[in-house]
Structure 1
């Protein structure tokens, strides 16, 4: 951090290089110029890649709108979701024999509320 502070403050830099002759100082300036060009090229490449990514997203969005599709439509077909699915914490076999699962997040499903109203303990339904 001190090195960066020295480089970015003219008076600190002047003090740091006071014992360097002009040939050495020109070498430092030359090296810094090369590094600057490399950094600029890297930044330009990143900016170009980001612009290309944004353009591709906009093109896909336009095509989806033209086709009348929404992101949810893609999620259905591909099995992908914009949110990761939360694993269920609780499982209750309903009166119809079908398992009901709940992650413990959001509103408690009716079957779990009814189970508790009948005196059941929700922790007894925890999936290990």
Structure 2
């Protein structure tokens, strides 16, 4: 039987500690009480943190309502702060008929490298 099962069953626990004298049993009880108090303190702190988090959320919601803001306003703000998309500089129509575009920045896409390896000039693909 594992240790946790023994602790959870009074009769199993009684059998496990039958050879201990009262002083040793008091030490076990004292240690278990200390562990219990520590576990209660941790649970209380977690509950306090959760309540503080919920209070902060409600406070922010109240301030947003007072200011006439919504979550959409923040999403719009994030979109406007992002880097503008770089326009493609080169276009190559693949064998599947789909256009492949590249801005000329970063690693050259495989389709453009293959085109050059077959003797093509990348400047011929420039978008005017």
Q: TM-score per shorter chain, which class?
A: 0.5 to 0.7
Counterpart residue number, 2:27: 27
Q: Gaps spanning 5+ residues in structure 1: where?
A: 81-97, 100-114
In structure 2, C-alpha distance between the alignment counterparts of 1:120 and 1:64, rounded to whole Å: 50
In structure 2, C-alpha distance between the alignment counterparts of 1:75 and 1:48, rounded to whole Å: 31
Root-mean-square deviation (CA, aligned residues, Å) is 3.1
TM-score between both structures, scaled by the size of structure 2:
0.60
Q: Give the total of aligned pairs.
A: 94
In the alignment, does 2:72 pair up with 1:120?
A: no
In our comparison, the structure showing a higher alpha carbon Rg is 2
Cα deviation 1:17-49 (Å, max 9, x = unaligned): 111111101100001101111111111111011
In structure 1, C-alpha distance between the alignment counterparts of 2:67 and 2:22, rounded to whole Å: 67
Flag as ranges the 4+ runs of structure 1 deviating above 3 A.
Answer: none
Q: Gaps spanning 5+ residues in structure 2: where?
A: 80-86, 102-108, 111-128
In structure 1, C-alpha distance between the alignment counterparts of 2:4 and 2:76, rounded to whole Å: 51
TM-score between both structures, scaled by the size of structure 1:
0.60
C-alpha deviation, 1:59, in angstroms: 0.8
Counterpart residue number, 1:61: 61
